[in-house]
Chains A and B, each alone.
Chain A
Amino acid sequence: MKSYFLKNIWPRMLTEKIATEKESELIKLSEALQGVCRKKLGRSLAIREVDAGSCNGCELEIHALNNPFYDIERFGIRFVASPRHADLLLVTGPVTKNMSEALKRTYDCTPIPKWVVAVGDCAAGCGVFRQSYAVMSGGVSDVVPVDLWIYGCPPSPIDLLRGLILLMEQ
């Protein structure tokens, strides 16, 4: 018990020192993102994630954006529960035919202006699931207009951050 309180009084920082290249990249990225976010959105970007039939690998990495290492909320970017509250749809998966209508409807529910970011190789062109009878032939852009593709299987949280900056700098 005592040690627990002590730990809380002098907490160990989780955001590490700039030791490796990767870490410094993270810090550079976060500074860039902070600047862009403030300028364009006045500290708020609401994201609605839509899984259009992914293998759930991409979801795991999107989840990781919320962990204390990346902590995406510090930039004012947050995941919301309804497309009606969203500025941006983050779409994963090759878009299965069973999900295409739901994706379209989610898009229609999102107020304008809106962006769509296709996350992962699947979303870009169906990845390994290409040419299956059960998926759309060209990924997300077959169903809704896409503003940005983030490649990777799955893209790492750093890739995702980098993609979001790119989009907002446009």
Chain B
Amino acid sequence: MKKLELSPHFTEEAIEIEAGKRKKYWSLEKVSEERWIELSKEIASGKWTLFGLWGSPQKVNMVLLDESQSKLQVIELETPLGKFPSVAIEVPSAARLERTIHDLFGLIPEGSFDNRPWLDHGKWQLRFPLGNILPPDEQKPYPFFLSEGENLHQIPVGPVHAGIIEPGHFRFTMGGEIVVRMEERLGYTHKGIEKLFFEASIERGAEIAARISGDATVAYSYAYALAVEEAMGITPSPRAVWLRALMAEMERMANHFGDIGAICNDAAFPRILSRCAVLREKILRFSKDFFGHRLMMGSIVPGGLKVDLSKEGKENLYRLLEEINEELCSIKYFYDSKNSLQDRTVGTGVLNARSAKLFGAGGFIGRASGRNFDARKCFAYPPYDKLSFESPLLEAGDVNARVWIRILEIEQSSFLIEQILNNLPSGSTLSVIKESKVCGQGLAVVESFRGDILLWIEIEKGKISRCHPRDPSWFQWPLLEKVIVGAVVADFPLCNKSFNCSYSGHDL
């Protein structure tokens, strides 16, 4: 196994001076409707990748990613008439985001081909909770896409699923044993998070952000802290900058172990599940012992960290890493040498590179299908600019590739943690905030275990006036519908597990 060294330009002083100073990688552009339409066309032509789309009471925002330049363009369009030109006519990944904008704000995407509600199931006793609130409409059944034909039958699944997982509904149309169409219906876990952010204090915002998606709690708190710091002009302490990345990598490892185990278990190979579950539990116990919470929930706050890593913790973590590296070798060997397992995972649930690119699928889903995007590389937010690591990339796009990306990422995370431990700056983990702005806008992108999280925040008079977290799942869920077509229904759990999209992060 190759051992990674720190990048050559790394020196001790470099940490002291540069840590925490995040380069601004986005710019805001206010546009007219014509330019908005033009930009939608440019996304469709492949010049940009759609990276986010959200509403506010009087405007809509869209974020465009230019991968070659590592730049984000935040587009803003005023909506005095309560409508905006639909982006989804050009860009399919915008469809659900637009339906959400309508459900929450009442803004109408003009020209859109799909006007069905998305998060609003008609149960809130009101409409447009974040816009001009209206009394509820009469409740109508949700119109699923029609799929009719001789010998077709349907299997409705959920919202209460058979395993210990989150709620959502899947409607399968079957031709015999083969899936002809699968349609998702989500929104069951909608908790009104965006409204809770409204007028919340910065501290309360941090509490909410940590609970957007429990498995990515570190990544969300991380993104929230970065965005708030940018908006308010706060510099986090150097030690915190490094420890945040350490926590994020630990979360990534813990979740990847959980996923690898669960996928193998769904392929009827529970042995790997138990081994992965043991490692996951060890990481969680370490977090409890040294960061005070098994999932490290709420540890990262604007300005730094609420916790610190003790000397003893550092030593224990070295030992844990050693154990993980050793175990990982045998898990790899196991995974690779069992034909019955490979038989289920190789060639199952293939996502082609074109779709991954079109939807801008992030994380292991994109990287297993040849989309080389990793927010840690692309935006190189500190301390990742000082760390050397690789972002594994595969082309096959099947369940097997997604398992392998996870395995390789665990390896990289382990290297990363080692580098961080070796170079951890000293000092306190919470910077003293001498002065800060009370108004501002901030944007942060953080690579969670699942992919890129985008978090946008607007602060007015020290309170949050708008906060929009965009989970990577938004661009991954629609692809799950695609990969299952033509497969047998028994492959669905495997595909679903290998995608492992968040329900809570998506439904908000």
Closest to B503 in A: A56
Query: A67 near B281 (CB under 8 angstroms)?
Result: yes
Question: Nearest chain A CB to B379's CB is how many angstroms away?
Answer: 26
- Identify which of A54, A62, A133 contacts B195 (C-beta below 8 A): A133
Query: B217 near A57 (CB under 8 angstroms)?
Result: yes
Could you tell me how many residues of chain A have their Cβ less than 8 Å away from some Cβ of chain B? 46
Interface secondary structure of A, over-half rule: mixed
Which B285-308 residues have C-beta < 8 A from chain A? 288, 294-295, 297
A-B contact pairs, 22 of them (CB 8 A): A4-B333, A50-B160, A51-B160, A51-B164, A53-B167, A56-B215, A57-B217, A63-B164, A66-B277, A67-B274, A67-B277, A68-B274, A98-B188, A128-B211, A129-B192, A129-B196, A133-B195, A134-B129, A134-B195, A153-B211, A154-B295, A156-B288
Closest to A130 in B: B196
User: B423 at interface (Cβ–Cβ under 8 A)?
Assistant: no
CA distance A59 to B167 in the complex (A): 11
User: A81 at interface (Cβ–Cβ under 8 A)?
Assistant: yes
Which B408-422 residues have C-beta < 8 A from chain A? none
Question: Nearest chain A CB to B324's CB is how many angstroms away?
Answer: 15
Question: Nearest chain A CB to B140's CB is how many angstroms away?
Answer: 15
Query: A56 near B213 (CB under 8 angstroms)?
Result: yes
Interface secondary structure of B, over-half rule: loop
Q: Provide the residues of chain A in CB contact with B297, threshold 8 Å.
A: 57, 153
- Identify which of B196, B207, B215, B507 contacts A60 (C-beta below 8 A): B215
Question: Interface centre among A51, A53, A55, A57, by most B CB within 10 Å?
Answer: A55
Q: Provide the residues of chain A in CB contact with B126, threshold 8 Å.
A: 133
Which B158-203 residues have C-beta < 8 A from chain A? 159-160, 162-167, 187-193, 195-196
Q: Provide the residues of chain B in CB contact with A129, threshold 8 Å.
A: 191-193, 196, 211
Known: A51-B167, A132-B196, A154-B214. 14 other contacts (CB 8 A): A53-B504, A55-B504, A56-B166, A57-B214, A60-B258, A64-B284, A67-B281, A69-B278, A93-B189, A96-B189, A96-B190, A129-B196, A134-B124, A153-B297
Q: Provide the residues of chain B in CB contact with A98, threshold 8 Å.
A: 119, 121, 123, 187-190
B379-415: CB near A (< 8 Å → 1, else 0) gives 0000000000000000000000000000000000000
Closest to B169 in A: A102
